[in-house]
Each structure stands twice: as C-alpha cells, then as structure tokens.
C-alpha cells in the first residue's frame, strides 16, 4: 500500500509540472523511462523549473553525474543517494533523444 501512495504522489508531482508547462508529457515517453522521469520531475522541480535541466547543454553521462551530485548537495533538494540512478537514467536517455531528434524538434523531443 505504501508503494501505491508513493507512485501516486510521484505521478501527481509530474503531472502538476507538466500542467505548468515545465515538464514533458509522460504519455510520449518510453515506458522504460517514465518512472525515472517522475523522480526527476519531483526532485528537480523542488528548487527550479524543469526547463533548467531539460534545456541544459549537457550531453555526457559524466557531466550529468557531476550535475546531479552538485544538485543533491543543495539544501532542500530532497535528492537522496538512491534517487541518483533514476535521475541519471532519465537524463542520459533525454540527452540521447535530443541528440537523435531532428533539428526542428522542440525541447520536449516531440514534434
């Protein structure tokens, strides 16, 4: 039952960010990264808009690791060490999808 509440809360957080125009439509994401995106949306929106990391010109896994480590050290970030793998999986996937997207695609990766 506890996990159901956690998943529900993550979904609400992700949906709220999308409604504000800050996030991605989870329906357009591959199933394999949706849960990772929900962790990303919840943790990252606590301190800044989601557009900040979504538009960052970061495309190397090493740079994302440094970025997430730096953000985790910020007071109030709520990023726990166990969140890092999910954050990095999403950010690595997102960076790769932007690299592979046609030049006229928007920041959300959808046309």
Task: Report the alpha-carbon angle 62-6-15, nearest 5.
Answer: 75
Supply the pLDDT for residue 102: 72
Region 4-8: what's the mean pLDDT?
47
Supply the pLDDT for residue 29: 95
Q: What is the rounded distance in angstroms from the CA atom of residue 73 to the CA atom of residue 76?
A: 9
Give per-residue pLDDT as tens, 85-98.
Answer: 999 999 999 999 98
Contacts of 108 by beta carbon, 8 Å cutoff, 6+ apart: 24, 25, 28, 54
Confidence of residue 103 (pLDDT cuts 50, 70, 90): low
Supply the pLDDT for residue 110: 45
Task: Report the alpha-carbon angle 91-13-47, nearest 5.
Answer: 65
Give per-residue pLDDT as tens, 31-41.
Answer: 999 999 999 99
Give per-residue pLDDT as tens, 42-94.
Answer: 999 999 999 999 999 888 999 999 999 999 999 888 999 999 999 999 999 99
Among residues 20, 24, 17, which one has the least CA distance to residue 55?
A: 24
Supply the pLDDT for residue 14: 47
Q: What is the DSSP string of 28-95?
A: GS-HHHHHHHHHHHHHHTTTS-THHHHS-----HHHHHHHHHHHHTSTT----GGGHHHHHHHHHHHH
């Amino acid at each position: 039952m506890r996990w159901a509440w956690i998943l529900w809360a993550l979904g609400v957080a992700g949906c709220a960010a999308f409604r504000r125009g800050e996030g991605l439509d989870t329906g357009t994401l591959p199933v394999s990264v949706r849960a990772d995106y929900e962790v990303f949306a919840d943790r990252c929106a606590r301190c800044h808009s989601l557009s900040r990391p979504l538009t960052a010109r970061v495309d190397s896994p090493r740079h994302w690791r440094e970025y997430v480590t730096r953000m985790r050290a910020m007071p109030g970030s709520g990023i726990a060490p166990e969140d890092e793998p999910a954050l990095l999986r999403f950010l690595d996937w997102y960076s790769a999808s932007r690299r592979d997207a046609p030049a006229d695609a928007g920041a959300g990766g959808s046309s």
